[in-house]
Chain A
Amino acid sequence: MTQPIPWLDGPLWPYLALLVFAVLPTEIWRWLAVAFARRIDPDSPALEWVRAVATALLAGIVAKLIVAPPGALAAVPLFIRVAALAATLAVMLVDRRRLLFAVLAGEAVLIGGAWLAASA
């Protein structure tokens, strides 16, 4: 558990932490985009690199949530968690517009698998 910064600790700490360490680093890019919208070329190599890193980071978050999952998800065997991702990916590879169907397929594998594993 990350401890609060001592001299800022108090009942309002969670709010402050959220604003400084989550809202600010997220929102700043939206603000910068508004400020520089006319001067940024969306196709420049720098932005391509940024997009690649952001995509990899998101994939990394997915992997971390599956390999070292929070709470109740940890009670489900790893191969079922991976199978759920695979099911989602399989549907998306067949038709990229079937987002809902892909999510439902992954969920069906996970919940069904977890149920079978729990009752086995």
Chain B
Amino acid sequence: MALAGMRDALSLPAWVVGFGLVGIGSLARDVGYPVEVAVLSTILVWAGPSQVIFFASIATGAAWSAIALAIGFASLRFLPMTVAIMPLLQRPGQSVRMQLLLAHYVAVTAWTEGLRRLPGMPPHQRVVYFLAFANTCMLVSSIGTFLGYYLLGELPIPLAAGLLCLTPIFFLASLSAGLRHRGDIVAIVLGLALAPICDRFIGGGFDLIVAGLVAGTIAFFFRPRKRGP
């Protein structure tokens, strides 16, 4: 089962996340933080958007409170995501520590793949499979972050730009892969449009939070009121 998890991760998802986090290495290097912090951010934060906000906000001189707030809000999605996946992984007699460990791996990739594959699996094999899958993704991503820290500056500009652009491209692709209804579409379109506008008019690094709150709240009213069967 562990091998199956590794194999499924290496069949594609691990590479997508791994390449997507290459840019984190160079962002960390740009603000003068050591390579250990870049790699640790991949292992301990395990959320591309949080890592991007962290290093990119430091580069623009945002207040620490604004950085933490933006990351907190960007990570709120993990609450419903974790709530949704935990029942698939819970076993009788499982320790809280084990559950916290499992929850740590909840991020776009392991979550979408987990929700897709775990239900068809016998419950006693799921934890091993999930851990193998997620740890493989994390290992590949850590190597990607490490390489990005040292390599990105050495590459010709089109290639370096291509690696840096993997993060926004991958986010946008994941966002559109997760679309559920028109409310999500409104959230994405308004978020894309408002962020640069807020960036121009709101200072102190709070622009992203304001854009997210305004766009998200408007999108909330566009959600379908009644759930179909």
- A114 smallest CB distance to B (angstroms): 4
How many A-B residue contacts, CB cutoff 8 Å?
Answer: 328
A53 touches B86 (CB 8 A): no
Interface residues of A in 22-42 (CB under 8 A from B): 22-34, 36-37, 40, 42
Type the 1/0 row for A65-83, where 1 means its CB is closer than 8 Å to any CB of B.
1111111110110000100
A99 touches B96 (CB 8 A): no
Residue of B whose beta carbon sits closest to that of A67: B196
Determine, out of B1-9, B123-131, B134-142, B206-214, the stretch whose residues face the partner at the interface: B206-214
Interface residues of B in 29-43 (CB under 8 A from A): 30-34, 36-37, 40-41
* Bound Cα distance A27, B103 (Å): 9
Chain A interfacial residues counted at CB < 8 A: 77
A29 touches B82 (CB 8 A): yes
A53 touches B73 (CB 8 A): yes
Interface residues of B in 74-132 (CB under 8 A from A): 74-84, 86-87, 90, 96, 99-100, 103-104, 106
* Bound Cα distance A20, B71 (Å): 11
Known: A72-B164, A84-B165. A34 touches B74 (CB 8 A): no
Known: A56-B190, A67-B196, A88-B169. A33 touches B44 (CB 8 A): no
A26 touches B169 (CB 8 A): no
B157 touches A63 (CB 8 A): no
Most buried by B among A2, A50, A69, A115: A2
Residue of A whose beta carbon sits closest to that of B31: A1
Known: A14-B33, A55-B175. A26 touches B208 (CB 8 A): no
Residues of chain B within 8 A of A31, CB atoms compared: 100, 103
**Other-chain residue from B16, B57, B198 in contact with A99 (beta carbon distance below 8 A):** B16
B220 touches A107 (CB 8 A): no
Residues of chain A within 8 A of B213, CB atoms compared: 53, 56
A18 touches B40 (CB 8 A): yes
* Bound Cα distance A5, B209 (Å): 22
Residues of chain B within 8 A of A54, CB atoms compared: 73-77, 212, 216
Known: A2-B58, A70-B164. A89 touches B172 (CB 8 A): yes
B208 touches A57 (CB 8 A): yes
Residues of chain A within 8 A of B33, CB atoms compared: 14
* Bound Cα distance A48, B187 (Å): 12
Residues of chain A within 8 A of B23, CB atoms compared: 70
A118 touches B (CB below 8 Å)? yes
**Contact residues of A with B, CB < 8 Å?**
1-2, 5, 14-15, 17-34, 36-37, 40, 42-43, 47-73, 75-76, 81, 84-85, 88-89, 92-93, 96-97, 99-100, 102-103, 106-107, 110-111, 114-115, 118
